[in-house]
Amino acid sequence: MNAPTSQDSLLRIQNLNVHFPLRKKGWFDPPEVVRAVDGVSLEVRRGSAMALVGESGSGKTTTALAVMRLAPITSGSVHLGDTDLGALQGEELRKARRRLQIVFQDPFSSLNPRQRAGDTVRTPLDLMQVGTPQQRDARVSELFEAVGLRPEQQHLFPHQFSGGQRQRINIARALATQPELVVCDEPVSALDVAIRAQILNLLGRLQREFGLTYLFISHDMAVVEHLCDEIAVMYLGQIVERAPRRTFFGNPLHPYSVALMSAVPTVHGGRARAAQRIRLAGDPPSPIAPPPGCRFAGRCPAAEPACHEALPPLREIVPGHWVRCRRVELIDGRPQAPLAPVSV
């Protein structure tokens, strides 16, 4: 079951599948595919920040790349406003890229070492022929100021900047075409802890100033709690839980979500946390041949025999809170997780 579409949603993903075929091992072997993203549906409200979280291999980055049309869409649809991004090709796709941009994870490898910082930020404007040359120069200067860099730093090369400054250049480049949607793919994971807070605060300020919408990819729950309005948890190519930030952090329901939250250090008193760290046994199943039942059942401490038999649907247990777990129940109108967190 898919979440209903609201009038103010900017990004709408419906039943997205991204499958990568593998080379056959033998002439008579059946074809195999990696189900990197397997039936993902979500929507992101205009002006909000949606987090996609999960461990490595969960499919969150592939989902983001499919939204950007940097990974092939096997089936399903991705709409930006009224535009079907999956149906665009050639010049139409190039023009649509003005409306969505990406900030990559590594601030070192995502910059051309032979290109000056100002030219890096100006490149999208030149490629998409935005404004006059004079307007492009002015736009670059505005963006340098907006991300906290000095105008004279436009003439420097990437190796002359720190890691945090390089990520500011990446952010400025992403904002050059005045996009509606910005995909942030682990934008602070490669930075020192002290610099992470600065970049997160910068992203929050830019969102307010420019009315940006973020699709924020991360494995760090503390980071997404600081910036994001909604949380979608992915496991083995599927969304297993989705909820507003306060609802999710106050009462995570899916056992995998509870396990993720148990790894987050408690900073504020009274917040729901697992009584102790939940250590999951084993590895996720193969995305080539996922199990027939719940994909987390093999590692779930609360799994029952029925959990291995049929894949549970993503259901709205209470308004706005969606979960893919047959063991989540409503008790006195409040959803109860099978691995209920305890306030510590």
pLDDT in tens, 133-156: 899 999 999 999 999 999 999 999
Residue with tokens 């994971």: 189
Flag whether pLDDT at 211 surpasses 50: yes
Q: What angle do CA 245, 205, 188 make, to 5 degrees?
A: 70
What is the pLDDT, as a whole number, of residue 276?
A: 66
- 32: which DSSP letter? -
Longest dimension (CA), the chain: 67
SS3 call for 57? coil
pLDDT band at residue 341 under the 50/70/90 scheme: low
What is the pLDDT, as a whole number, of residue 270?
A: 43
| Distance between CA atoms of residues 2 and 173, nearest Å | 34
pLDDT in tens, 237-258: 999 999 999 999 999 999 999 9
Among the listed residues 247, 191, 185, 197, the one whose alpha carbon sits nearest the alpha carbon of residue 226: 197
Phi-psi group of 237: left, alpha or beta (phi > 0 → left; psi -120 to 50 → alpha; rest → beta): left
Asked whether the beta carbons of 236 and 59 are under 8 A apart, the reply is: yes
| Distance between CA atoms of residues 326 and 254, nearest Å | 9
Q: What are the backbone dihedrals phi and psi of residue 112, each rounded to the nearest 5 degrees, phi first? A: -75, 115
Tell me if 267 is assigned to some domain: yes
What is the pLDDT, as a whole number, of residue 248?
A: 95
Tell me if 65 is assigned to some domain: no
pLDDT band at residue 3 under the 50/70/90 scheme: very low
What is the pLDDT, as a whole number, of residue 2?
A: 44
Tell me if 142 is assigned to some domain: no
Tell me if 308 is assigned to some domain: yes
pTM over the 0.85 mark: yes
Total domains in the fold of the chain:
1
pLDDT in tens, 212-225: 999 999 988 888 99
Type and span of the H or E element at 315: strand 315-318
Long-range Cβ contacts of 292-297 (<8 Å, 24+ apart) = 294/324, 294/325, 294/326, 295/235, 295/236, 295/237, 295/238, 296/235, 296/236, 296/240, 296/254, 296/255, 296/256
Give DSSP secondary structure letters for 141-207: HHHHHHTT--GGGGGS-GGGS-HHHHHHHHHHHHHTT--SEEEEESTTTTS-HHHHHHHHHHHHHHH
Structure tokens at 299: 């590692």
Tell me if 111 is assigned to some domain: no
Flag whether pLDDT at 271 surpasses 70: no
Domain extent, residue 327, equals 229-344
Looking at per-residue confidence, does 105 or 157 come out higher?
157
Flag whether pLDDT at 265 surpasses 80: no
Flag whether pLDDT at 275 surpasses 70: no
Tell me if 340 is assigned to some domain: yes
| Distance between CA atoms of residues 260 and 132, nearest Å | 49
pLDDT above 90 as % of the chain: 68
Residues facing 286 on adjacent strands: none
Flag whether pLDDT at 343 surpasses 50: no
The CATH number that applies at residue 323 is 3.40.50.300
pLDDT in tens, 177-195: 999 999 999 999 888 888 9
Residue 316, burial from CB neighbour count under 10 angstroms (0-12, 13-18, 19+): middle
| Distance between CA atoms of residues 290 and 295, nearest Å | 7
Looking at per-residue confidence, does 3 or 123 come out higher?
123
| Distance between CA atoms of residues 264 and 70, nearest Å | 32
What is the pLDDT, as a whole number, of residue 322?
A: 97
Flag whether pLDDT at 30 surpasses 90: no
Tell me if 110 is assigned to some domain: no
pLDDT above 70 as % of the chain: 93
Tell me if 143 is assigned to some domain: no
pLDDT band at residue 1 under the 50/70/90 scheme: very low
Q: What are the backbone dihedrals phi and psi of residue 178, each rounded to the nearest 5 degrees, phi first? A: 55, 60
